[in-house]
Structure 1
Amino acid sequence: MKLALFDLDNTLLDGDSDYLWGEHLVAQGVVDGDWYRSENLRYYHAYEAGQLDIREFLAFALRPLAENRRAQLEAWRSDFIESQIMPRIATEALRLVDRHRDAGETPVIVTATNRFVTEPIAQLFGIDHLLATEAEMRDGEFTGEVAGTPCFREGKLIRLQQWLGGNIGVLESAHFYSDSRNDLPLLEAVGHPVAVNPDPALAGIARERGWPMLSLRAEVAEQKPGG
């Protein structure tokens, strides 16, 4: 099996789905607007700086899933996908996935954002295999807890190894596309790392190591953190 691995946020997607979902909840009046927006931004900046405490963040991010019924969450998500996500998918990102698929490679999204938010986004790319942070469920509703290893930093590599059943030799021929210094464990584990719209730290590492760099941007007036 040949793999083409893709980070999602700020890589295939021109924006951060976790952050944007939080802003969508604020806009819907689901959460305490001022406090939630401030915390959402604080965690986003910690992520950018490579200093995010993933367990602390997930306690924050998964709480609205636990506080609302699944049917209502899905209604909010449907509007979120249409209004916030679809405009942020660049044509070139879709073409990149298709090129790997046409080359006989299996595309896989590997993202720290939880499955509830990202599963319909993966479907927009026609990608069947999604490794994401799993939100625990009980009796069809979310508990607010994490199930298993968060798909973040070294956790991405752990989750991928579990998915491969230990067949990590396939990583030698795999591509992995990412924008973030947080993905260095997986970028260093594959034979073909590619920096996409890289943050300053990753851009510097990519230049030092001779990794290819790629820009994927959608034509959208983006809702940026702090703006």
Structure 2
Amino acid sequence: MAENRKNQVRAAAFYDVDGTLVDSNVIYVYLYYALRMQKISDRLGRLLRAAFFSPAYAVAEVASRTLFNKMFYNNYRGMEHERLVLMGREVAEEALLTHLYGDARKRVDKAREMGLVQVIVSGSLDMIMEPFAEILGIDRVLANKLEFENGRATGRLIPPVLASKNKKTVIEAFAREENIDLTRSYAFGDSRYDLPMLECVGFPCAVNPDKELEQIARERGWPVVPFA
């Protein structure tokens, strides 16, 4: 039965998460992890490091979301895989679900009623996005993955880094594999960095967009929707 459904041409709804479904971001999630390190010295060291490099992160994000991701996730270097996974659901509930827009939940529920395959496409980590998707009843997750060696994070992401144009690439690959008709599909994003993702579907929607995305959306006649 599952194979038959996969062979049918279906439509999907693709969601960015930070700023789109939730009023939160990867920095807040990292701080949640860092503040719960078992040793006080580890907590302090990680917080000071993040604060020291914050100007560099700001510059990197303006230049390239991919560069920002590569730089920022280096903060996870040395963290234990087991602990990160064990805390994944807690982080999803406490750092994301508590910041979920009510309108976002309604949108997800409506997409389910429409029979859409629902997919998170996020620069956040898979170990957090998977329990978050499960809680919301979202079907699939395409998210960043940390590299681990000897049970500890190296601080590097496993390619491709989920950001900007790479979001479009992974969506198109997913659509081919799962027999998804992108011309009948929806995408929701809040940032100019989500533009490639929005452009690859038939029904893009700008949610709480930044100025650049809002201007582009209005020029192209895309819906501009405030989630609260």
Per the normalisation by structure 2, the TM-score is 0.81
Describe the shift of the 1:139–1:184 C-alpha distance in structure 2 as closer, same or farther (beyond 3 A).
Answer: same
Q: What is the Cα deviation at residue 76 of structure 1?
A: 4.5
Aligned-pair identity in percent equals 27
Q: Distance in 1 between matches of 2:49 and 2:74?
A: 16
Q: Does the 8 Å contact 2:14/2:121 carry over to 1?
A: yes
Describe the shift of the 1:58–1:173 C-alpha distance in structure 2 as closer, same or farther (beyond 3 A).
Answer: same
Aligned pairs (5 A) from 1:124-203? 124-138=135-149, 141-165=152-176, 170-203=181-214
Q: Which amino acid aligns with 1:52?
A: S
Work out which of the residue numbers 207, 216, 220 in structure 1 matches 2:227. 216
Unaligned stretches of 5+ in structure 1?
218-227
Q: What is the Cα deviation at residue 188 of structure 1?
A: 1.2
Q: Does the 8 Å contact 1:25/1:31 carry over to 2?
A: no
- Aligned residue number for residue 81 of structure 2: 70
1:37 partnered with 2:48? no
Moved more, 145-154 or 92-101: 145-154
Structure 2 residue matching 1:32: 3-state secondary structure: helix
Q: Which amino acid aligns with 2:164?
A: R
Q: Distance in 2 between matches of 1:167 and 1:115?
A: 19
Q: Does the 8 Å contact 1:26/1:36 carry over to 2?
A: no
Describe the shift of the 1:106–1:82 C-alpha distance in structure 2 as closer, same or farther (beyond 3 A).
Answer: closer
Q: Distance in 2 between matches of 1:43 and 1:206?
A: 27
Q: Distance in 1 between matches of 2:75 and 2:200?
A: 33
Unaligned stretches of 5+ in structure 2?
1-9, 37-42
Per the normalisation by structure 1, the TM-score is 0.82
User: How many residues are treated as equivalent by the alignment?
Assistant: 213
Q: Distance in 2 between matches of 1:174 and 1:45?
A: 34
Aligned pairs (5 A) from 1:16-95? 16=25, 18-28=26-36, 29=43, 31-40=45-54, 42-44=56-58, 46-47=60-61, 49=62, 51-52=63-64, 54-55=66-67, 57-64=69-76, 66-95=77-106
Q: What is the Cα deviation at residue 75 of structure 1?
A: 4.9
Give the CA RMSD over aligned residues: 2.5
Q: Distance in 2 between matches of 1:158 and 1:135?
A: 19
Q: What is the Cα deviation at residue 204 of structure 1?
A: 0.9
Structure 2 residue matching 1:80: 3-state secondary structure: helix
Describe the shift of the 1:68–1:30 C-alpha distance in structure 2 as closer, same or farther (beyond 3 A).
Answer: farther
Between Structure 1 and Structure 2, the one with more helix by share is 2
Q: Which amino acid aligns with 2:20?
A: T
- Aligned residue number for residue 116 of structure 2: 105
Structure 2 residue matching 1:177: 3-state secondary structure: strand
Structure 2 residue matching 1:122: 3-state secondary structure: helix
Largest Rg, 1 or 2: 2
Work out which of the residue numbers 16, 20, 23 in structure 2 matches 1:7. 16
Q: Distance in 1 between matches of 2:138 and 2:19?
A: 17
